[in-house]
Amino acid sequence: MHEYSVACEIAALVKQTALNARVTKITLAVGALSGIFTESLVMYLDFVLPDMGMNNALVETRDVPATFSCACGVEYVAENIATVCPACGAFTRTIKAGQDCIVESIEVDDD
């Protein structure tokens, strides 16, 4: 059910941003570490968006891979959470990308 609350948050944000314009397309960037199942999120948005008056909004998603920054200075994309630094083999790292689910862009029809 986590995706349902995220879908509601996204719909509210889009509505707030678009004001009275008709939303035609929403592009979401879903991080690999966000804990969100893209399919579930899109499914809930299909329910939530019409409820909020956005009937014909197309939802597109883009997967953002998990990117880490190692203490040795190397940045790498991790296949999974257990992937270590390819340069030095260390597991200590900071997350650079892939932690969030964000609304990347909104397209509206002004007519």
Residues that bind Zn ion (CB under 5 A): 70, 72, 74, 85, 87-88, 90
1 or 82: whose CB is closer to Zn ion?
82
In the complex, least distance from residue 71 CB atom to Zn ion, rounded to whole angstroms: 6
State in Å, rounded, how far the first CA of the chain is from the last one. Answer: 36
Q: How far apart, in whole angstroms, are the C-alpha atoms of residue 98 and residue 26?
A: 19
Please count the other Cβ atoms lying within 10 Å of the Cβ belonging to residue 27.
15
In the complex, least distance from residue 76 CB atom to Zn ion, rounded to whole angstroms: 8
In the complex, least distance from residue 64 CB atom to Zn ion, rounded to whole angstroms: 21
In the complex, least distance from residue 77 CB atom to Zn ion, rounded to whole angstroms: 13
12 or 87: whose CB is closer to Zn ion?
87
Q: How far apart, in whole angstroms, are the C-alpha atoms of residue 76 and residue 83?
A: 9
Please count the other Cβ atoms lying within 10 Å of the Cβ belonging to residue 14.
22
Cβ(28)–Cβ(106) below 8 Å: no
